[in-house]
Amino acid sequence: MPRSRKQKFNKGKGKHGGDVWKPERTDKWEIPSENAKFRAYYEKQKIMQPEEWEPFMKSMSSTLPLTFRVTGSRAIAEELNDFIKTHHLPLLTGITFAGEPVEAPKQVSWYPQGLVWQLNIGKSVVRKSDEFRHFQRFLVYETDAGNISRQELVSMIPPLLLDVQPHHYVMDMCAAPGSKSAQLLEALHAADVSTASAIPSGLLIANDSEYKRTHMLVHQTGRLASPALMVTNLDASGYPNIKIPSEHGSGLTNLKFDRILADVPCSGDGTLRKNVNIWRDWSLSIPNGLHSLQLRILLRGMKMLKAGGLLVYSTCSLNPVENEAVLAAALNQSAGEFSIVDVSDQLPGLIRRPGMDTWTVATNKDGTIHDTYAEYEKAIADKEPPKRLLPTLWPPENAKSLHLERCMRILPQDQDTGAFFVALLQKARRPDATSSGAQEVVLPKRKAEDDPDGQPEQKRTKADGEEEADGVVGHVYSEQPFYYIDEDNEQMKEGLRTLNLSPNFPSHLLFARASKGDTIRSVFLTNEIIRSILLNNDTERIRLINCGTKVIAEHSTGGSSRAFRFLHDGVSLVLPYVKPEEILQASLEDLKVLLAGYNPTFEELQEPLRNALLDKTGTSYLLRIPSSESQSFKQPLNLPLWKAAKSAGLLLDKKARSAVSLRMFGEDVSPVGKEQGKKRRGKEAEAAGPAEAVDGEQEGELMPEVLDGEEDELPAFPDSSGGEIAGAEEEATIDTQRA
Ligand SMILES: C[S@@+](CC[C@H](N)C(=O)[O-])C[C@H]1O[C@@H](n2cnc3c(N)ncnc32)[C@H](O)[C@@H]1O
């Protein structure tokens, strides 16, 4: 018997931007975990064998296990992953609760390097078990520090198939809230070592048409400080050509991408396990309406791809009209230039089902099915509908020759996940590839003035149920200007000198966000390709929201005196350029003192750090705790430090302070941590009962989810995962300047 979950929902603003259905957290209504139309429709589509329906429904109506990914560049991630394995896992293994064994976290076998973990733990266990509470705190702080990301398992597949390399130009067309963008960025930074970031020559453009959601994107990707990232706010189906200097000779050429992710807006019924309101609101007309936008986005992606490049098309919908139908139409339009790649040998261990080459279309809300477009046309011949469904919703005659079976459909009962659809496309290496029996297709058209390649297209009638591409809804572009700082700018030259950066620091890649001539407050670093893009394109035309990463900032030292300071996010980028003799060496004891107080005096620190600080004349330094100081970590820890006349302080925000503390000392020695400990002990003594959650720990949740519609609250535990349309879990913090 499927169990019900208590939640009340209201209809969101109804665009395909992630808030079609907005859950309200309340116990007033019960949403049943079933929907007769849903079942009838999918039974007709034959997405699985009849006997599989029971396990499918059972799985769809049960709670999704929590999955998290250890993030960051490869070396850093491996180190933290080892720490989970060697430190936490033994503590969480063999635990019993109420006489029952509690499942320990387990690594997902098909994810490279075992960086993904899956947990199935009830709230009461987290509440009552010291071991799990400790693990919870670790997860929360490492998430805040950007080292761990909660993400739905199936949502991790598309970036893996793209096989991104550090030199690739990558586009994530529909990127918010950004969990897949974060994975793509990590792949660009695969060559980083654990103590320093190599500046990749590649690029990631993370785009989303919803302005508010681009800010989630900035926050999400900001966790991996990258000079190779740009965030834009455009309708992907009309993404403009970006100009870069031509490789051969003079002049400009259109930027083409090596890798493109089209994780398009969809009806989201694959996320039913999280977004239970879909059981109630599931509709037959939404997928038909989205098909056209999905196809236009895919076609634009295909145009922007380099010859030989790879493109992933994915949705969190089960529906063939949003999946195989879109691919079939796009493949036929491309006349043999693209093919679906056979990925059956990739991600061994991941259970997947083949794509389908037959399906039917529900042509009205009541579920009337027409097997072919011809049948549908006949049925409506004597009616005068204002809009007609697109023929591309149906399987084309050549469906069997398109290798749609190479697509993968993930079903929830196979490995306890959400449902998902993915296909990997490759563009032929030579542009003159011959057609393999491609069929002519009637495609949804864009308005002539929106066509990025400048080919006027004819007007057409809007198809039934079809929605307009939401483009960039209702937001006037008003970002602060971006400008590269002149290399002879006096303020900058002096700043770099006082930070002891070596002369080979790439200062031509530094930019500021202010009007030229204003005092520089924050300094961002990009790589060469982003510089090229910014210098050759109007940032307003490409609706640039953010790019590069903030590496240093101005610091008021009282009165009129100002200096630059290192920033935590930028440490790995500036580190290779800091003169080694200017890096301050500290012991683990020094670190504890610096974490426990905001501005300890030099006297509280040990030799040789105390004397080094007395000798130094600058104000901002990098502090190094050598790996020999810690039993758990093989790499040194580098942190930014501020030096005043008689005291010094770590330049870390409160959460980063707690994360470093938990990682290095197994306890939170920071002022916030101490305060929390005091509160908890007080409550325990008062109630003489179970420990209660204190700030920064939500009661009984290992990593509670942030649901759509809660963007304005700052969650205690950010959940960066999924981002699927229908009320997916989303980041709450909105701060464009952060990265
Ligand atoms: C399935 S979600 C993407 C999830 C994201 N890839 C992730 O992993 O976090 C689809 C996104 O498409 C965006 N979107 C909708 N219409 C769009 C359009 N025409 N162009 C670009 N983005 C669009 C929505 O705002 C939404 O954020």
pLDDT one-digit tens code per residue, 537-571? 999 999 999 999 999 998 866 666 668 999 998 99
547 known member of a binding site: no
Q: Return the ligand 1 atom nearest residue 220 CA.
A: 9
Decide if 311 is inside a domain: yes
Percent of the chain with pLDDT over 90: 52
What is the C-alpha separation between 618 and 641, in angstroms, rounded? Answer: 11
Based on the fold, state whether residues 439 and 295 are members of the same structural domain. Answer: yes
Indicate whether 294 and 440 sit together in one domain. Answer: yes
Q: Are residues 112 and 230 in the same domain?
A: no
Residue of minimum CA distance from atom 18 in ligand 1: 235
Q: For 569, left (φ over 0), alpha (ψ -120 to 50), or beta? A: alpha
* ipTM exceeding cut-off 0.95 for this assembly: yes
Å from CA of 346 to ligand 1 middle: 26
Pairwise CA distance, residues 563 & 618, whole Å: 9
What pLDDT shows up at residue 308?
97
21 and 93 fall within a common domain? yes
Q: Which of 381, 416, 450 is the last residue in one of the domains?
A: 450
Of ligand 1's listed atoms, the one at least distance from the Cα of 720 is: 9
Q: Is residue 87 domain-shared with residue 157, that is, in the same domain?
A: no
pLDDT at residue 299, rounded to an integer: 98
175 is in an annotated binding site: yes
Task: Tell me the H-state helices in 163-249.
Answer: 179-188, 211-221
Range from 462-476, 607-621, 623-637 carrying the lowest mean pLDDT:
462-476
387 — pLDDT class (breaks 50, 70, 90)? confident
Look at residue 507 and tell me if it is in a domain.
no
pLDDT at 683 over 90: no
Judge whether 527 lies within some domain.
no
Q: What is the CATH number of the domain that holds 343?
A: 3.40.50.150
**Ligand 1: residues whose CB is within 6 Å?**
16-18, 155, 173-180, 208-210, 213, 235-237, 263, 265, 293, 469-470, 723-725
pLDDT category, 621, cuts 50, 70, 90? very high
Enclosing domain of residue 103 = 5-152+671-687
- Asked if residue 147 and residue 130 are part of one domain, the reply reads yes
The whole-number average pLDDT for the span 85-106 is 89
What atom of ligand 1 comes closest to residue 178's alpha carbon? Answer: 9
Query: Mean pLDDT over all residues of the chain?
Result: 81
Tokens representing 59?
């799985």
DSSP run (H or E) holding 575: none
Point out the domain boundary residue: 431, 450, 469: 450
Contact 548, 526 (CB under 8 A): yes
357 is in an annotated binding site: no
pLDDT band at 15 (very low <50, low <70, confident <90, very high): very low
Give me ligand 1 centre to Cα 177, in Å: 8
pLDDT at site 488: 86
Contacts of 518 (CB under 8 A, 6+ apart): none
Q: How far is the CA of 469 from the centre of ligand 1 (A)?
A: 11
Helix and strand numbers, DSSP H then E, in the chain? 21, 33
| 174 and 298 share one domain | yes
Q: Token digits for 363? A: 């042509």
Is 316 one of the annotated active-site residues of the chain?
Answer: yes
Number of structural domains in the chain = 2
On whether both 200 and 346 belong to a single domain, the answer is yes
Residue 46 shares a structural domain with residue 103: yes
Q: Is residue 721 part of a domain?
A: no
**What is the rounded distance in angstroms from the CA atom of residue 598 to the CA atom of residue 596?**
7
**235 has binding-site annotation:** yes
**Is residue 359 situated within a structural domain?**
yes
Q: Indicate the pLDDT class of residue 191, thresholds 50, 70 and 90.
A: confident
> Can you tell me the distance from the alpha carbon of 173 to that of 263, in angstroms, rounded to the nearest whole number?
7
Task: Tell me the H-state helices in 237-322.
Answer: 277-281, 285-304
To the question of whether residue 716 is assigned a binding role by annotation, the answer is no
Query: Are residues 109 and 79 part of one domain?
Result: yes
148 and 161 in a common domain: no
Asked if the structure places residue 245 within a domain, the reply is yes
Nearest CA to ligand 1 atom 15: 17
* CA–CA gap between residue 418 and residue 266 (Å, rounded): 14
Both 94 and 179 in one domain: the answer is: no
Close Cβ partners of 426 (under 8 Å, ≥ 6 residues apart)? 308, 309, 310, 311, 338, 339, 341
Candidate list 266, 316, 407, 547, residue with the active-site label: 316
Query: CA–CA distance from 656 to each of 378, 522, 717 (Å)?
Result: 65, 20, 14
Provide the percentage of residues in the chain whose pLDDT is more than 70.
80
Last residue in a domain, options 398, 426, 450: 450
Does residue 204 contact residue 188 with C-beta atoms inside 8 Å?
Answer: yes
Cα 209 to averaged position of ligand 1 atoms, centre (Å): 7
Top-ranked range on mean pLDDT: pick from 173-177, 274-278, 672-676, 732-736: 173-177
Give the range among 58-72, 290-304, 624-638 with minimum mean pLDDT: 624-638
- Asked whether residue 469 carries a pLDDT value surpassing 50, the answer given is no
Is 544 a member of any domain? no
CA distance readout (Å), 61 to 31, 64, 270, 415, 559: 11, 9, 12, 14, 62
The CA-based angle 311-312-315, given to 5 degrees, is 150
- Establish if 131 belongs to a structural domain: yes
